[in-house]
Amino acid sequence: MIKKLLLICLLIVSVACPALALDGKQLLEQVDRNLNPESYEMYRKLINIEPDGRKKEFTLFSVKKGADKVAALFLAPASDKGRSTLRVGDNMWLNIPNIGKPIRITSLQSVVGGVFNNADILSLDYAAEYDVESVSESGAEKLLLLKAKTKTVAYDRLKMWVDKNKNLPTKIECLTEARMLIKTLYFKEVKDFGGGIIRPSLLETDSPLHKGYKSVMIYAKIKKRTFKDEVFTLTFMPNLESLR
């Protein structure tokens, strides 16, 4: 009888382990889809707040297609209007009107300053860049430990807290390979954007590397939309305004 129980336990463990990994992957993919449609257009405001309370605001129009194509157009302030950024996979560019051809930028740089970097502004699906190492229970949330698939990803590891009922992130800690905290992302104020998109409308971030500084993204509009591949090319960057 004892041997039979042991065999049953071993069988359960052998089945549960791959199932856990599969469930983690499915959960992360569900989080991605709950945050954004696979292809969409979006309007948002980005605010950088300095320790003395001074603020600088940017308004952006963004478009995304599939897992690896994102572009954004600056609408305000006037000094930045017409600038555009493009991300295709790990490659990123910045186009400044009347300057010449687009210039390459990196994920850890920031075209707006503040705590958000280019990878945050031109974010891809989490499942496209990270594997799920483990999933655990944390009260009303699940805690996902994520590991970057390649060395080119901005953060080597993520700790993601996900609301069990909504399958939406509430907090993400971004870590180095040595597990040093780079920044924390806080997802707040869940809003119904229509078209089945119910997600946080506010994203805040702070960082121990930028003490006293804070950056905020406010999402004003998100809706499903399809685009041709040519939209996500260097030659189209000056024409993003035509999509509005």
The single residue listed with the structure tokens 């860049």 is 129
Query: How far is 78 from 187, CA to CA, in rounded Å?
Result: 29
pLDDT of residue 114: 93
pLDDT of residue 1: 58
pLDDT of residue 2: 54
The single residue listed with the structure tokens 């080119």 is 152
pLDDT of residue 163: 96
Query: How far is 149 from 153, CA to CA, in rounded Å?
Result: 8
User: For residue 34, what are the contacts with CB-CB under 8 A and spacing of at least 6?
Assistant: 166, 167, 168, 198, 199
Query: How far is 87 from 240, CA to CA, in rounded Å?
Result: 13
Domain ranges for the chain, please list them: 31-243
Query: How far is 116 from 46, CA to CA, in rounded Å?
Result: 9
pLDDT of residue 61: 98
If you compute the radius of gyration of the chain from its CA atoms, what whole number of angstroms results?
20
pLDDT in tens, 139-153: 899 999 999 999 999
CATH of 31-243, one of 2.40.50.140, 2.50.20.10, 3.40.50.1460, 3.30.420.40: 2.50.20.10
pLDDT of residue 23: 85
Question: What are the phi and psi torsion angles at 125 (to 5°)?
Answer: -60, 140
DSSP-derived 3-state class of residue 156: coil
> Which portions of the chain are predicted below pLDDT 50?
5-21
pTM for the full predicted model: 0.87
CB-based contact 95:84 (threshold 8 Å): yes
